[in-house]
Amino acid sequence: MTTTPEPATVDSFTGVVFGGRYRIDGLIGRGGMASVYRGTDTALGRSVAVKVFAEAAEGIDDAARRRSEVALLASVEHRALVRLYDAAHDDPTGREYLVMELVDGHDLRETLRSGPVGAADAAGLAADLGEALHVIHARGIVHRDVKPANVLLEPAHLPTRSWNAKLADFGIARLIDDARITRTGLLIGTPGFLSPEQVSGEAAGSATDVYALGLLLLEARTGRPAFPGSAGEAASARLVRDPDVPDAFGRGWVDLLRAMTARDPGARPTALEVAVAAAALDHGSSASASASAGAESASTAAVADAATVAVGAPDDGTAPTRRLTAPASAPVASAADDDPVATAQTRVMTARDVAPPVQPPPSRRPRKRRRAPVVATLVIVAAVAIAGALFLPGLIAAQNPEPAAPEPLPTLPAELNELGEHLRQLDEAVTP
């Protein structure tokens, strides 16, 4: 139970030891059926919560039945359930009492005095309490008194949530049967959270707890009771109308709360379905802002990935050149920009600075050849050809000089015979 104490109140049980073991140290809170005290288990030396019932709450003085029920309830363990340690009848005081886990925190009723809780905290409540109800329903236990005063909040250790919720008093309906309560008109349950079937006198089932949890969540979100007014008015109102669920909560919340508070028990979801649905609830503007930020980040990353990078040979032969080409889906500059194209390229380059450069895929088109070197090469070849045509003959002539003119043949003597005359004529014919 909660450890947050109420203002000092004179109470005759302070200092009393119940069952010869549990010492009452001080009052924590008081309700219509019982008072809750901080106590000490003198046998184990640990702090506990002791719930002492009013004189009218008879019903757990059957020792055999009490041992059976306590064994069952003590075997139910869950992080969102306040554990029951012991239950007995104290002969010296004549009171029935329960000994439970002491939770270091406060109850939801106290929290709601400061106003409604946020959507994220309410979703956490729905998940924790829905799961806790699912556990006890699976063991055949119906709480029958789900209300803010029975929801204890202990500080959470995660930065994503304010506290963890624990459901208390989940075994009282089994330990104290409402048919054996002697006070006229006293029922186990709180008028503001009774289900339509409880008001009608029908048997309470697991759907009864789901209805009460729906009213609890609705009050947590709005900060006001779903059925205000006196106990009789609040109890009877739910027989003729459903609670008002504001559309501003969003589709997920509206659908869940309307289903949980349906007047037909068969139309309500199970506690497990409530816990699962709570995990998918919209947590409000903070979640929307996170989603927008995520979408913007994804868009920036997509632009960066879409930008193409080409690395080619340097123009001056010293360093590579990077060319960024903005894709068709790149952001468009506003009309006020002097140069929309330059602005779009700047945005792409900014995205590229955030993400590592994308390497060109193997299928990229080959880079275009540079025309300037080709033209220069053609000019040089033409110049060499012309120079060769002009200077090659002289160069060849210089390296290979013309041979000297052959020496003239010796003059033939005049007395040569006819054969000699023919030879002379032949010599003259071949002499230039």
* pLDDT surpassing 90 at residue 410: no
Catalytic residue among 86, 90, 145, 209: 145
348: left (phi over 0), alpha (psi -120 to 50) or beta: alpha
- Tell me the pLDDT tens digit for each residue of 291-342: 434 444 444 444 344 333 333 334 444 443 333 333 343 343 333 444 443 4
- pLDDT band of 219, cuts 50, 70, 90: very high
**How far apart are alpha carbons 215 and 132 in whole angstroms?**
17
* pLDDT surpassing 60 at residue 158: yes
- pLDDT band of 432, cuts 50, 70, 90: low
**How far apart are alpha carbons 236 and 192 in whole angstroms?**
10
- What's the whole-number average pLDDT of the chain? 73
- Decide which of 199 and 216 is more confident: 216
Query: Structure pTM?
Result: 0.61
- Decide which of 133 and 422 is more confident: 133
CATH 1.10.510.10 in the chain, residue ranges: 17-283
- Decide which of 332 and 213 is more confident: 213
Other CB atoms within 10 A of residue 141 CB: 20
Report the pLDDT averaged over residues 392-398: 52
- Decide which of 209 and 376 is more confident: 209
- pLDDT band of 352, cuts 50, 70, 90: very low
**How far apart are alpha carbons 174 and 261 in whole angstroms?**
24
Active site residue 145: yes
- Tell me the pLDDT tens digit for each residue of 32-56: 778 999 999 999 999 999 999 887 5
- Decide which of 398 and 41 is more confident: 41
Report the pLDDT averaged over residues 418-430: 60
**How far apart are alpha carbons 370 and 274 in whole angstroms?**
69
- Decide which of 250 and 75 is more confident: 250
CATH 3.90.105.10, applies to 17-283: no
Compute the C-alpha angle 65/66/70, nearest 5°: 120
- pLDDT band of 92, cuts 50, 70, 90: very high
Q: Write out the two tokens for 59.
A: 């019903």
Residue 251's pLDDT is 94
